[in-house]
Structure 1
Amino acid sequence: MGKILIVDDDPVFLDLLGAFVSENYPLLELVTCSKPVSALSIIKEGGLDLLVLDLEMPDIDGAKLFNFAVETGMDPKRIVILSGRDSDYLHANFPLGTCLAVLNKFEVKQKAVLEMVFSSLNRKAEARQDVDAKSK
């Protein structure tokens, strides 16, 4: 299964995104966290296929969580940064190649990119499920 952690301090956005993933990508194991501090132990535990972080959060912002995840061994190409800021700001602070994607969470076209990422993980989980079924 593809394990995803989504960290966002906006409970409405977190609930909407969590419900969307659960309804449309049933093979993905979804963990949501509205408190960045609570996400630290989940990140440290490892085993995440994708980490989706809100950039602007109290206590620990997304940039600090990103750095923590990378320092604990997570591949930065498995991390997506979300923000309400414009794309110029985001790309200046997270240049191409820094992580999988940096997306404005309110732009429809950029939501499509996130959907492509979820879809890809779901297909990989489906393929793993098929391999497991055949090996039994």
Structure 2
Amino acid sequence: MGRILLIDDDRGFTNFLSGYIRETYPLLDVEICNNPVSALQRIKHDGYDLLLIDLEMPTIDGLKLLSFATQTGMDKNRIVILSGRDADVLHELCPMGTCLAVLNKFEARQKAVLDMIFNSLHKKAGGI
């Protein structure tokens, strides 16, 4: 089963996205972490196939979590940064190669990119 950790302080968004993933990609196991500080222990000790990290959160922002995750051995190509910011701003903050993708979480066109990532992970977990 493909394991995803969704880190975002917006409970409405995490409930929506995790519900969508569970319904559309049943072989993917989504864990929600609404507190970025508690995410540190999960990242450090659990083997996730994909991290979805919100950029703007209180106490620890997404870029710090990205840095922590890569320092603990997670492949940067298994990390997606999500934000409500404009794509140009996001690409300034996270230039190409910083992580797998930097996506605006409210833009409909960005959903297609997330779906490609989820579909790939679903296939690796045994889905068709």
- Name the TM tier (shorter chain): over 0.9
Deviation at 1:111, TM superposition (A): 1.3
For residue 21 of structure 1, what is the aligned residue in structure 2? 21
Aligned-residue CA RMSD (Å): 1.2
Deviation at 1:115, TM superposition (A): 1.1
- Contact kept in structure 2, 1:2 and 1:29, CA below 8 Å: yes
Partner amino acid for 1:117?
A: I
The CA distance in 2 between the partners of 1:124 and 1:77, in whole Å, is 15
SS for the counterpart of 2:29 is strand
Structure with the higher helix share, 1 or 2: 1
The CA distance in 1 between the partners of 2:46 and 2:23, in whole Å, is 25
For residue 71 of structure 1, what is the aligned residue in structure 2? 71
SS for the counterpart of 2:53 is strand
Q: In the comparison of the two structures, how many residue pairs are matched?
A: 128
Deviation at 1:98, TM superposition (A): 1.0
The CA distance in 1 between the partners of 2:22 and 2:42, in whole Å, is 19
For residue 103 of structure 1, what is the aligned residue in structure 2? 103
The CA distance in 1 between the partners of 2:67 and 2:46, in whole Å, is 14
For residue 10 of structure 2, what is the aligned residue in structure 1? 10
TM-score normalised by structure 2 residue count = 0.97
The CA distance in 1 between the partners of 2:54 and 2:6, in whole Å, is 8
- Contact kept in structure 2, 1:46 and 1:74, CA below 8 Å: no
Please state if 1:50 is matched with 2:56: no
SS for the counterpart of 2:81 is strand
The CA distance in 2 between the partners of 1:10 and 1:46, in whole Å, is 22
Q: Which ranges in structure 1 are unaligned for 5 or more consecutive residues?
A: 131-136
- Contact kept in structure 2, 1:6 and 1:31, CA below 8 Å: yes
The structure with the largest alpha-carbon Rg is 1
Partner amino acid for 1:17?
A: L
For residue 89 of structure 2, what is the aligned residue in structure 1? 89
Deviation at 1:29, TM superposition (A): 1.4
Identity of aligned residues (%): 60
